[in-house]
């Protein structure tokens, strides 16, 4: 039985390697990041090579450096040179709130504060006026603020304190990522990066 499990893992990772799939190691984090990540809700420790952060083959007409979000598949792709992308699992908006369109990253923030918008307050009137950045903040470890035509869309790519919902339609339009994944993406993204959401 043990041999069969080992053989299955070898075959899975062999197949992934043949297809140019490659695990991406966790980014280096600051002391503050390490402290707050340890206090934040943690994603499942079960490693799934098909849904974890990975470098994958990816064909697109978008330029390297572009972020492409596939809302139906629940993946965010950071396009690279040479026909690959770094793929991250995400959560997206509930059906009536899914954001689609082209934008740019207009602002970046580490452990951002959160001010609930009118729709969030309508759905949950007990929300506080502002939640300061930290391990319990719904925006998690990082925030990338999407702009169109120089104006804030109020859509964010951000971390989460609910990692159990990654892979689902749960938000009011924002794109949620595991905290360690959004730190990795944040480190790779510049202000002005194009974001395509479909």
Instruction: Give dist(CA 43, CA 91) in Å, integer.
Output: 13
Residues annotated catalytic, as ranges? 158, 174
Helix (H) or strand (E) holding 22: strand 22-23
Token pair of 86, please? 């770094």
Token pair of 173, please? 């339009």
Token pair of 191, please? 């202000």
Residue 63, exposed/middle/buried by CB under 10 A (0-12, 13-18, 19+)?
Answer: exposed
Cβ proximity of 191 and 108 under 8 Å: yes
């Amino acid at each position: 039985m043990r041999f069969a499990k080992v053989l299955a893992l070898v075959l899975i990772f062999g197949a992934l390697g043949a297809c140019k799939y490659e695990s991406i190691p966790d980014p280096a984090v600051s002391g503050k990041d390490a402290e707050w990540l340890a206090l934040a809700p943690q994603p499942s420790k079960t490693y799934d090579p098909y849904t974890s952060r990975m470098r994958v083959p990816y064909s697109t007409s978008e330029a390297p450096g572009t972020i492409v979000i596939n809302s139906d598949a629940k993946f965010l792709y950071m396009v690279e040179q040479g026909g690959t992308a770094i793929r991250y699992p995400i959560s997206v908006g509930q059906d009536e709130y899914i954001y689609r369109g082209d934008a740019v990253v207009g602002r970046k923030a580490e452990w951002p504060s959160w001010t609930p918008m009118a729709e969030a307050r309508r759905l949950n009137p007990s929300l506080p006026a502002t939640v300061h950045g930290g391990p319990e903040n719904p925006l998690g470890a990082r925030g990338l603020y999407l702009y169109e035509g120089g104006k804030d869309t109020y859509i964010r790519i951000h971390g989460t304190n609910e990692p159990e919902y990654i892979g689902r339609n749960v938000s009011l339009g924002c794109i949620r990522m595991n905290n360690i994944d959004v730190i990795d993406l944040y480190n790779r993204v510049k202000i002005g990066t194009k974001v395509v959401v479909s």
